[in-house]
């Protein structure tokens, strides 16, 4: 309710206010905390290891969600094709001796090939 | 030394590596610094960024983000501002897709904040490498804002070969170069999504999640990394499918805890 009122008052600037509030600030916060903590914090500490593990899980979590519940133009290709393309990318990554570029390029080409073969918009 | 220089560190740089991030400022003369082929300071950083292999993944990921901004109906200026202000591709993908599908602002803020948490240890690991006793807070804040996965990996790899007093300039130059390329790529991706057929747009959209996934695989080093990687990949879609609220938040907390526990167990039995 209050949210809707605020939105209409802000008008076309609402998306920009949202960008600052829920995009910029939640991200920049961690960078600033990092600046404050950087004075005397053990790089190998348990807290850092936990934060790193949490961030990694979130990162691959976003990937998993985007592959399974795909947005926009990707949604028109079946989930089997998207998962299959990811697996092909993994094979290419391993065959090319752990090359990030090989994995990304093969997965992307595979999803497009799958879309061309099995339909899409 | 933090994990930046692992795997792909060249044998040369091992010779001139500082013994630790907290080496004394006067320790500079204790080891010979092999100059980088593109010099040091801000201009050296610009050149270091322009010749980085990560330039390819940054441009690809941000063309993808530009296309995503267009497909979710945001203005071009707004989409470009996310690259300038947020400057973290996963956070931008969450921000654009969540706001675009009408998620509650608080939920978006929590998801973006949790995905950006990885920036904290990166900044903590990076700053001791660039600081000198004369370093001003302002310079460090700029370096902190430029800190993102691609910039961090490259800077951690190259900084040991840059003289300490030139390191902030080098880091900011490298950050400026990668962010400038990202902004140009965002504009390009936005326009491409307007003009390209759906098949190619789908390819663009698929590029950024795949670059996150294979970068995470490449950077995995200890047991905690591997467990977190697999747990995230499985948990997030599972929780979302089951309709659990704040699925991404729980993925981070549960996956991170599992990974941490696995690492402690492994160390205990070694």
> Is residue B6 predicted with pLDDT exceeding 50?
no
Spell out the domain ranges in chain B.
36-219, 220-270
Nearest to A74 by CA among A109, A115, A104, A22: A115
pTM exceeds 0.95: no
Q: Spell out a b/e string for B178-197, using b for 16 or more CB atoms within 10 Å of the CB, else e.
A: bbebbbbbbbebbebbeebe
Q: What is the pLDDT, as a whole number, of residue B71?
A: 84
> How many residues does the structure list for chain B?
270
| Nearest-by-CA chain B residue for A52 | B118
Cα separation, B66 vs B80, in Å, equals 8
Cα separation, B261 vs B269, in Å, equals 12
Residues B15-62 have pLDDT tens digits of 333 333 333 343 344 344 556 666 778 999 999 899 887 888 799 889
Query: Among partner residues B198, B229, B253, which is closest to A56 by beta-carbon distance?
Result: B229
Q: What is the pLDDT, as a whole number, of residue A42?
A: 60
Q: What is the pLDDT, as a whole number, of residue B93?
A: 87
B7-66 residues touching A, CB cutoff 8 A: 21, 53, 56-57, 60
Q: Spell out a b/e string for B241-250, using b for 16 or more CB atoms within 10 Å of the CB, else e.
A: eeeeeebbbb
Lowest mean pLDDT among A28-42, B29-43, B158-172, B222-236: B29-43
Cα separation, B148 vs B155, in Å, equals 10
Sorting pLDDT into bands at 50, 70 and 90, what band is A6?
A: very low
Chain A positions touching B261 (Cβ under 8 A) are none
The H helix count followed by the E strand count for chain B is 13, 0
Sorting pLDDT into bands at 50, 70 and 90, what band is A92?
A: very high
Contact A69 B240 (CB under 8 A): yes
Nearest to A60 by CA among B109, B98, B203, B231: B231
Better pLDDT: B79 or A45: B79
> Is residue B157 predicted with pLDDT exceeding 50?
yes
Better pLDDT: B1 or B59: B59
- Chain A / chain B CB contacts < 8 angstroms: 319
| Nearest-by-CA chain B residue for A43 | B125
Interface-testing mutation among A4, A25, A27, with chain B (most B C-beta atoms within 10 A):
A27
**CA-based torsion, A43, A47, A53, A56: positive or negative:** negative
| Nearest-by-CA chain A residue for B198 | A73
Nearest to B155 by CA among B135, B139, B178: B178
> Is residue A104 predicted with pLDDT exceeding 50?
yes
Q: What is the pLDDT, as a whole number, of residue A43?
A: 55
Sorting pLDDT into bands at 50, 70 and 90, what band is B215?
A: confident
Residue A39's contacts (CB-CB under 8 Å, 6 or more residues apart) are: none
Q: What is the pLDDT, as a whole number, of residue B118?
A: 76
Residues A8-55 have pLDDT tens digits of 555 778 899 999 999 999 999 999 998 888 665 565 678 778 877 887
The H helix count followed by the E strand count for chain A is 6, 0
Contact A43 B21 (CB under 8 A): yes
A79 touches chain B (CB under 8 A): no
> If you average pLDDT over every residue of chain A, what do you get?
84
């Amino acid at each position: 309710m209050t949210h809707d009122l605020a939105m209409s008052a802000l008008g076309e600037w609402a998306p920009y206010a949202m960008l600052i509030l829920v995009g910029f600030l939640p991200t920049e916060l961690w960078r600033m905390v990092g600046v404050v903590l950087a004075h005397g914090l053990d790089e190998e500490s348990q807290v850092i290891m936990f934060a790193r593990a949490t961030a990694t899980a979130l990162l691959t979590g976003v990937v998993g969600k985007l592959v399974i519940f795909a947005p926009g133009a990707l949604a028109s290709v079946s989930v089997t094709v998207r998962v299959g393309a990811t697996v092909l990318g993994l094979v290419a990554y391993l065959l090319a001796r752990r090359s990030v570029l090989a994995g990304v390029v093969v997965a992307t080409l595979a999803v497009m090939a799958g879309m061309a073969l099995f339909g899409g918009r | 030394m933090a994990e930046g220089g692992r795997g792909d560190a060249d044998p040369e740089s091992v010779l001139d590596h500082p013994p630790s991030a907290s080496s004394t400022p006067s320790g500079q003369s204790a080891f010979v610094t092999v100059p980088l082929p593109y010099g040091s300071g801000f201009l050296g950083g610009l050149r270091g960024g322009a010749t980085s292999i990560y330039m390819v993944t940054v441009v690809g990921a941000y063309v993808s983000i530009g296309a995503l901004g267009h497909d979710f109906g945001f203005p071009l200026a707004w989409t470009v501002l996310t690259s300038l202000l947020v400057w973290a591709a996963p956070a931008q993908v969450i921000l654009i897709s969540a706001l675009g599908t009408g998620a509650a602002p608080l939920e978006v803020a929590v998801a973006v904040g949790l995905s950006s948490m990885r920036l904290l240890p990166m900044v903590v690991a990076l700053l001791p490498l660039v600081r000198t006793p004369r370093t001003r807070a302002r310079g460090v804040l700029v370096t902190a804002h430029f800190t993102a996965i691609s910039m961090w990996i490259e800077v951690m790899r190259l900084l040991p070969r840059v003289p300490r007093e030139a390191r902030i300039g080098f880091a900011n130059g490298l950050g400026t170069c990668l962010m400038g390329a990202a902004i140009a790529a965002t504009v390009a991706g936005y326009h491409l999504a307007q003009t390209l057929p759906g098949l190619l747009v789908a390819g663009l959209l698929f590029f950024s999640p795949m670059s996150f996934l294979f970068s995470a695989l490449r950077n995995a080093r200890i047991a905690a990394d591997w467990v977190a990687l697999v747990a995230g990949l499985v948990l997030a879609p599972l929780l979302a499918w089951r309709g659990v609220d704040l699925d991404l938040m729980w993925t981070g907390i549960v996956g991170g805890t599992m990974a941490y526990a696995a690492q402690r167990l492994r160390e205990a039995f070694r």
